[in-house]
Structure 1
Amino acid sequence: MRFRGPLIGLTVFMTVALTLGWLVYATLLREVSGSTTAYSAIFTDVYGLREGDDVRMAGVRVGRVQKIELVDNERARVDFVVQNDQKLYGNTIASVTYQNIVGQRYVGLSPGKSGGSAGNTVLAAGATIPVERTDPSFDVTTLLNGYEPLFSTLSPEQADNLTKGVIQSLQGDNASIVTLVSQTSTLTKAFAGRDQALGNAITSLNTVTGNLAQQNASLDKVLTQTRQMVSDLDSRRPELVSSAGSLAQTMRRLSKITNDVFPSLEEIITRQPGFTNHVVGIEPQYAFLGDNLPIVLKGLSRFYSEGAFINVYMCDLNLTGFFPGLNDVIPIIVNAATPGNVAQYTPRCRNMANG
């Protein structure tokens, strides 16, 4: 008695699960309701078509694809079933039609050209529609890729409308074909309006290309020299590696010197009353140095004016200061011994005395 309640619950759960599972399976299987008749069709290409896809007439699902197989290594045979109340005639055309943007296809059945006895002849069960009365599939990605330059210039809404028009056109909607042609014409006019801008861009590009062509010899020379330089560097790789090692060693030594000097520099800068205050405090000395430095440099330049050696003339050397009383006698004697009774400097000393 204790197990009756759980057993009833398990039974109810299993019944509901099996029922729901069967409903899901039946929905996914998409069997055709009612009695059906089997037919076949030969296609040159059934790209995107799968077993279980729809068979439609005028957009209404009337059958299902049962099997797809390769025949003669170049054609595809599609076996499908159609409801018995739908008749296929001798001029019926079968086509693999694009269904949606996901890439699904279906087999579309449509009447062929009217006239003749074939249009009145009902196909027998198991009959095969020949390749002459079938339209193959194609890779729609190739078509959409052709519109890629247009999509890059369109807004998302315009791109969606254009894509929708392409899909509806592939499904045989004549109104969509007219809309697609109209949209394509509008886009073409928009591009045609930019013809002058495109022409200017092409002309400018042609000018740039011409200039590059004129510099072909220079470019070739630059490339040759660059190649030679790289080759020389490659041939001297050991020396470069050695130099890099020496440079690293030098930098380590410099770093060591800096580390050794830094405490002393820090002490100079941070000592009281401070490095900056000390520099500011000797401003008069800097002013004196600035005033007299040009005179000193001018005098030093005369020492080296005749070459890489020092040339000094003793023009104003006076030794009479060591003998008191001679300061007045010596000039009188020199003036009397000089022609004209006036003491003269040598030409070199006269030039220096005149600046």
Structure 2
Amino acid sequence: MEVSYKEEVSVGALVILGLVAFTLGMFWLTGRSIVSKGIGVDVVFKDVSGLKEGDPVRVSGVTKGRVARVHLDKVGKVIVTIQVSSDVRPHADASAAVASADFLGAKYVAYNPGAKDEPLAQGTPIPGVAEEQFADIASRAASNASQLIENVNRGLNPGQLAADLHNTLVVTQRGMKALSEASNGPMVQQTTQTLKTVQNVMARIDSVLGTRDAAASGRRLDTLTANLGQLSAHLAAATKSLNELLTTMNKGEGTLGRMATDTMLYKNLNATLAALSSLLTDLKERPGRYLTVKVF
């Protein structure tokens, strides 16, 4: 069946209208304008971070234009042409920066027209600054966190800390044991004697306070004063002996000091006691090995 002339015209018109609608839709979706309007400004960037044609140009967050062209002049130099409204004409101190609109990668140009009275000369580009990439920030933050954790682990090594605590407890326990074993030493005996003297003095004070004879009380007070002097001397001697003992132990000198600080001595004593215990046990079980009885 032949197609009439009117039908051909109708089909052609529909195709043309479809192409026009498609073109207008593409311009609308990309934010471009068929008729160039506004003021064109060139911005020089080192890196545009994915900025593309049609992205918005904003002044203080308000959209005032679009990106008209993105051109790589050379490595490290990208020329971006923006179209902005006439009410935000660029001045001599104008600047621009690439910024992220969201976390999905959308970009826009943050445009600052400047505040100087002198307008920007025709054809003069303005400097642009690319934003720091979120991935770079996250990478640097992760690196800093890793370094911090490494420093903390190095400064607070759990194994070393546990070992230090164990050694401290062992030394403390050994020192307490040494002090308990030295309970019959001269220092303890002197302290016991001093306490007995204190008890005697307190008993005499009670007897003095209970008498009614003033002369006798005076004589007893003199005696009490003399006894207090002796008590003070005994206390001073006991304190001095205690200080000397603690100083000697801290330096690792003497028997108590070596027992409190010398780990090898402690281990040798334990080994010797273990060997002696084993020998006594074997002697009880098999005395014939060590004792020989001969009858003549």
| TM-score between both structures, scaled by the size of structure 2 | 0.41
Q: Which of structures 1 and 2 has the larger relative contact order (alpha carbons within 8 angstroms, sep 6+)? A: 2
